[in-house]
Amino acid sequence: MSTGALRAHLLAARLAGPVATSREESLRSYRLFAARDPRVMLGLDPEWAWGEGDLLRLMADKCGVSADPAHVSGPDVIDPERTMAALEAFAGRLCEAARARSPVLFGTGHPHRLLGFYAGLAEALSAAGCDVLTPAQGVSVDMTTRFGVRTHSIEYVRGVALVREPGVRVPGSATGVHTHSPLPVRVALGALAEAGGPLPELVVGDHGWVCGAGQLGVEAIGLADTDDPALFVGEAEGRVSVAVPLDDAVRADYYRPLTRYILGRASLTGRQEWP
């Protein structure tokens, strides 16, 4: 897939350009982050002080949203050039992992939308000789939800971790909860450490999977929307290696061209042996 075709797809699918995330949602997240509200921190404990103005300037730089604080309504905007540049860095890091045959952990808080995207990457890295880790399969995690604390379980579908509510056991299904929590990745990494097995040299995902891993010193890369400032703060502070700005809640099939593009740029398509 050419860069021109990718750019056209990003705009047509509203992955970039004017996106479904509203300016109101984004500004609310920046206010909450500045107040250190755990709902938007995603497991990150920033070293620097981040006020609302700081966050707005950061997101304008990283995503291309308007830097004008007087702009308070309407759809938010992501610059497709910034998305493509971040995808290039994302692909480069996957290429490095494949060449080194690094152990990798995949996890998502958006299973209904992004499972297929990550699964395609996980399968390609596995074919290249990487150990795609699946720790803490079936382990319970008590997570705070809007309905109070609820017990969920960590499950894996095609090598990608997600969390499910009790009683949801559909083999191979993307059914899972939308979560920002860093607890699943903490439990997964803790299980690996306790078992004495290899720890991931790279975590790939979104939300708490990326920020939770980065906060613990594990290299992490992932996708983030304009109302997810934590990943971009983590990138600015050096605890997230790559944060790709795009709408993370469009139709699942709209991410398939991104998988093909990344695999092509990472030289992973159809290649299973490395010099």
Give the mean pLDDT per block of 10 residues along the chain (275 residues): 94 98 97 96 96 98 97 96 98 98 97 96 97 96 77 94 77 74 97 93 98 98 98 98 97 96 89 39
* CA–CA distance, 71 with 88 (Å, rounded to integer): 30
The pLDDT value given to residue 13: 98
**b/e map of 25-48 (b: 16 or more CB within 10 Å)?**
ebbebbebbbeeeeebbbbbebee
The pLDDT value given to residue 266: 96
What tokens does 125 get?
Answer: 């890295």
Sequence-distant (6+) residues with CB within 8 A of 272 are 127, 128, 129
Which value, to the nearest 10 degrees, does the dihedral of the CA atoms of residues 153, 21, 41, 192 take?
Answer: 40
**b/e map of 206-237 (b: 16 or more CB within 10 Å)?**
bbbbbbbbbbbebbbbbbbbbbbbbbbbbbbe
How do residues 151-188 score in pLDDT, each as one tens digit? 889 999 999 999 998 765 555 556 788 999 999 999 99
Handedness of CA 132, 137, 142, 144 (dihedral sign): positive
* CA–CA distance, 66 with 160 (Å, rounded to integer): 34
**Count of beta carbons in the 10 Å neighbourhood of residue 129:** 14
The pLDDT value given to residue 169: 55
Nearest alpha carbon to residue 212 among 180, 181, 244, 182 = 182
* CA–CA distance, 138 with 129 (Å, rounded to integer): 25
Q: What is the rounded end-to-end Cα distance, in angstroms, of the chain?
A: 25
Q: Which residues pair with 220 in a beta bridge?
A: 203
